[in-house]
Amino acid sequence: MTRQNLLIDADDTLWENNVYFEEAFEQFVNFLEHSTLTAPEVRAILDEIELANSRVHGYGSMNFGHNLQECYHRLAERPVHDRDLEQVLGFALRILEQPVVLLDGVNETLEYLASRHNLTVCTKGHPEEQKLKIDRSGLGVWFGHTAIVKEKDRAAYELLVEERHLDKTRTWMIGNSPKSDINPALEAGLHAVFVPHARTWTLERQQLREPGPGRLLVLERFPDLRGIF
């Protein structure tokens, strides 16, 4: 195969991520102890807050903590004290202390791909937090470039293609999120490989769109990339 440009998502593609946010949310629900709202109903309200705030403040554990605090302000059935808000924020900040757990076969697959193609980590979130996870993962050695963006939309992919002088016909975006990895990459004229994760964040789920000039592949597991590239 001609050498390809592989843009590879990080969170929930290379390592576990959303599971820690789910654990923090469970702690939040237990602490909130709402008398009538179920956990899914609280989650729906938090989703609204996150959707609005992410457009301005972006992603990451700290911003998630602020979203939890806003949700607590809105839903608490008791007086809101500073110590309560600190505890709510703590649920999110503990995410930073969690180990970076690689998904099965990721390291070996990246080693194989790096010998044949040009690899770029393409992720969104707080730059320092994402850099820390990449460093702790030990996977940085396989990547020639790192792109950390505020949002992964069509404009972000088009800018990356322009800045890196990438040939769209030889460029693929690989990830678990239809919203951030697959659909906008296809809109930008790239190829895409969807590798689903069972616990992808709700706000990252969308129907996969029909590809334009690019190809769309759907794989079950990350190691299946070895059979494609």
Instruction: Report the C-alpha dihedral over residues 212, 173, 223, 199, rounded to 10 degrees.
Output: -90
pLDDT for the residue numbered 55: 78
Instruction: Chunk the chain into consecutive blocks of 10 residues (it has 229) and report each block's average pLDDT, rounded to whole numbers.
Output: 94 96 97 97 96 85 94 96 96 94 97 97 93 95 95 96 96 97 96 96 87 90 97
DSSP bridge partners of 216: 192
- Considering the entire predicted model, what is its pTM? 0.92
pLDDT for the residue numbered 82: 96
| Domains of the chain: residue spans and CATH | 5-15+101-227 (3.40.50.1000), 18-97 (1.10.150)
List the one residue out of 67, 75, 68 whose CA is nearest residue 36.
75
pLDDT for the residue numbered 14: 98
